[in-house]
Chains A and B, each alone.
Chain A
Amino acid sequence: MNCKDIKELIFEYLDGGLDSENIRRFDDHLSSCEECRVELAGVKSLWMKLDDIEMEQPSENLKKNFDNMVNAYTLGVSGTRTPWYEAFSNWLEAWWPKRSFTQFAATIAVLIIGIVTGLSINESAESKREIGQMQRDMDNLQQVVMTSLLNESSAVDRISGLTKTNQLENVDGQFYSTLLLLLNSDSNINVRLAAVNALANFADNGYVRHELVKSLDLQSSPLIQISLIDLLASIKEPDSSSTLVRLINDPGINEHVKTRAKTALKEFI
């Protein structure tokens, strides 16, 4: 491997995406090249800082600016072969995420690309490859942001992350899965309650509704059961009827949960 290869593979290396053979060759080169070691250290520290990013909704201006940047970038890349509007619309379709979560990640990705490649700008022949790299970085960054929600060792921090999700709109399936994982598997009951509250923001989604009904069967705490029944009753989810009937007839279920399940059933009729 030469220095150019290292630059190309640096993100994959940091994200653990290289196979062992490539890792060995990567490490071999590093051990003999001071310049690449410095570069790796720089990118790595930036990478770590991304873990601390607060999840925020990009403002309208940011989105506009980003659109403009993408527009300008695409014009430069595609040259004269395709009309700019077609290139632009293709670009948007392919790269511009419909989800605010990734929108934010994408904005950061642009920043990184700027920093990493800005210093060594090459001619447009390299641009296509850069776009591929950009896509990979964007995916990586989405993971980074989501894993930080799951990866907090303190319940206080996980609840804080869940509280912030109510600012998000148009998130994707993976994001729902992350919330549902906390709802079904978190060791802390208050985090599970916070997950119900967070999911209430996304209860218009069919997948979420379906999973909420399934979750009611999994929960053992009366508090979570009641909160889930509250939510299912609010969205008038008819598929929950059979689960509610099961709860009412289950001798092991808390009496108050049964009472709540009965009133919820009446609301469906």
Chain B
Amino acid sequence: MKKHYFIKALIIFMILSPAISSSKENGYDSVLEFGDPKGERIIQFTGNGDLNIIGYNGEKVLIYSNENIFQDDYEDLEKAKGLKKIGGGGGFNIINNKQDNIIIISRPIDEDIDLDIKVPNNTFLKFGSDVNMDSWGNSKAMNQILSSIYNENEKAQDDFVADIIGKTLGGSFYGILDGDVSIKDFSGTIEVNTVDGDIRAENIEGEIIASTIDGDINVIFKKLHKGGALYFSAVDGDIDVSFPQDIQADIMAKTMDGDVYSGFDGEVTMGKEMENKITAGGNKHNFNNLFHSNYITTRINGGGHEVYLNTVDGNIYIRKGN
């Protein structure tokens, strides 16, 4: 199924993607436009190397690199005369899927490519994907669950499997990200998963979900959007998050080997506040309370946004911003 989906996706991309724009605009090496500037726009990054992202109020994605990745070396190729290069094998690729409104910036895994990129605000930035080799290991369990959901409806089930593999289980493009990610002055949604590198996000308005294995996470929020819970996770590194001072939040912090510091005068409890929950079903909520007592919980300005800060080996800093 994976292979099938991969090939299908590849064919679609090959048909849809126009060549990497070779035009130079204001010194940028590559300028990309979304298929639908007003729709939901996604920019996805994979591969290794540092990324410096700055948000701006334009509509184009502007990419700059010091390295020679945009050079049109293929023109020397006799066989490629008259053809346009639309992609490479295992190398640097930009895929602009205008139909799905996704721009994928895919870098090779055997070398580091550093990029400076300006991105439009109010987009969805997706960095790498988690490296979970088990993701594909449970296909049997997944099929069982899906057939129980769909009963005998095989056609719907097949469609759904393709969908779920594409979306929930990482999709056909999931790359290891080895390098630092830095995002500045951006509003929108950020989903970043790296393996080896720091994550820095500064002056951010919106939502962030971040994870790294070996590196620090540093986030300075300008404003949070009301949405689901936010999660920041590191295995070997500090988590340092600065919130607007008037934020209403419940911050749950957990570290195995480190300390938790806070600049807020929030009320600190071991365990999540449960008084707003339905109290029926006694045992159930006792379990939940006990489980949540593993978190050091700070309720700030009456509570609201749920924020989970998890690290195994590192300190957690909760800062009061402006």
Residues of A whose CB lies within 8 Å of any CB of B are: 15-17, 143, 146-147, 150-164, 166, 169, 173-174, 177-178, 180-182, 184-190, 193-194, 197, 200-204, 218-223, 226-227, 230-231, 234-235, 254, 256-257, 259-260
Chain A: minimal CB distance from B285 (Å): 8
State whether A193 touches B228 (Cβ < 8 A).
no
Is the beta-carbon distance between B141 and A184 smaller than 8 angstroms?
yes
Tell me which residues across on chain A come within 8 A of B155, comparing CB atoms.
16-17
Which chain A residues lie closer than 8 Å to B193 at the CB level?
A: 188-189
**Inside 8 A of A202's CB, which chain B residues have their CB?**
284
Please, how many angstroms separate the alpha-carbon atoms of A193 and B284 in the complex? 19
10 A-B residue pairs with CB within 8 Å? A147-B160, A150-B168, A152-B168, A166-B277, A184-B141, A185-B142, A185-B168, A189-B132, A193-B233, A218-B134
Contacts of B135 in A (CB 8 A): 185-187
B163 within 8 A of A: yes
Contacts of B169 in A (CB 8 A): 185-187
Contact check, A188 vs B167: say whether CB atoms are below 8 A apart. no
CA separation between A226 and B308, bound complex, in Å?
14
Question: Given A16-B156, A174-B149, are A187 and B287 neighbors across the interface (CB < 8 Å)?
Answer: no
> Which B-chain residue is minimally distant from A204 (CB atoms)?
B284
Which of the listed residues A154, A157, A185, A200 has the most CB atoms from chain B within 10 Å of its own CB? A185
- Tell me if B290 counts as interface (CB < 8 A to partner A): yes
Residue in A150, A180, A222 whose beta carbon sits within 8 Å of that of B235 in the complex = A222
Contact A234 B160 (CB under 8 A): no
B174 near A177 (CB under 8 angstroms)? no
Which B residues lie within 8 Å of A256 (CB)? 256-257, 312-313
Within 126-160 of B, Cβ neighbours of A (below 8 Å) are at 126, 129-130, 132-135, 137-138, 141-142, 145, 148-150, 153, 155-156, 159-160
B229 close to A (CB within 8 Å): yes
A256 to B: closest C-beta gap in Å: 4
Could you tell me the distance between the alpha carbons of A186 and B209 in the complex, rounded to whole angstroms? Answer: 14
Q: With A156-B189, A163-B228, A187-B130 as known contacts, state yes or no: A201 contacts B256, CB within 8 Å.
A: no
B293 nearest CB across to chain A (Å): 8
Question: In the complex, which residues of chain A have a beta carbon less than 8 angstroms from the beta carbon of B284?
Answer: 201-204
Q: A17 contacts which of B132, B156, B210 (Cβ < 8 Å)? A: B156
Decide if A185 touches B138 in the complex (CB within 8 Å): yes
Instruction: List B contacts of A182 (CB < 8 A).
Output: 168
Please provide the chain B residues from 153 to 190 with a CB less than 8 Å away from any CB of chain A in the complex. Answer: 153, 155-156, 159-160, 163-164, 166-171, 174, 189
B281 at the binding interface (Cβ < 8 Å): yes
- A156:B132 contact, CB within 8 angstroms: no
Specify which chain B residues have a CB less than 8 angstroms from the CB of A166 in the assembled complex.
277
Tell me if B322 counts as interface (CB < 8 A to partner A).
Answer: no
B243 at the interface (CB under 8 A from A): no
Query: Quick one: closest A residue to B156, CB to CB?
Result: A16
Which of B138, B141, B229 meets A159, CB within 8 Å?
B229
Chain A residue nearest to B138 (CB atoms) is A185
Nearest-neighbour CB distance to chain B for A257, whole angstroms, equals 8
Which one of A16, A223, A235 contacts B153 once the chains associate, using CB atoms below 8 Å?
A16
Nearest chain A CB to B309 CB, angstrom units: 11
**B292: Cβ under 8 A from any A Cβ:** yes
Q: Is the CB of B281 within 8 A of A204?
A: yes
B159→A235 contact, CB < 8 A: no
Closest 10 CB pairs of A and B: A160-B228, A187-B170, A190-B231, A234-B290, A16-B156, A234-B291, A153-B167, A256-B256, A230-B294, A177-B145
Check A222/B312 contact, CB under 8 A, given A169-B278, A200-B288, A235-B287.
Answer: yes
Residue B121 interfacial (CB < 8 Å): no
A203 / chain B contacts, CB cutoff of 8 Å: 284, 287-288, 291
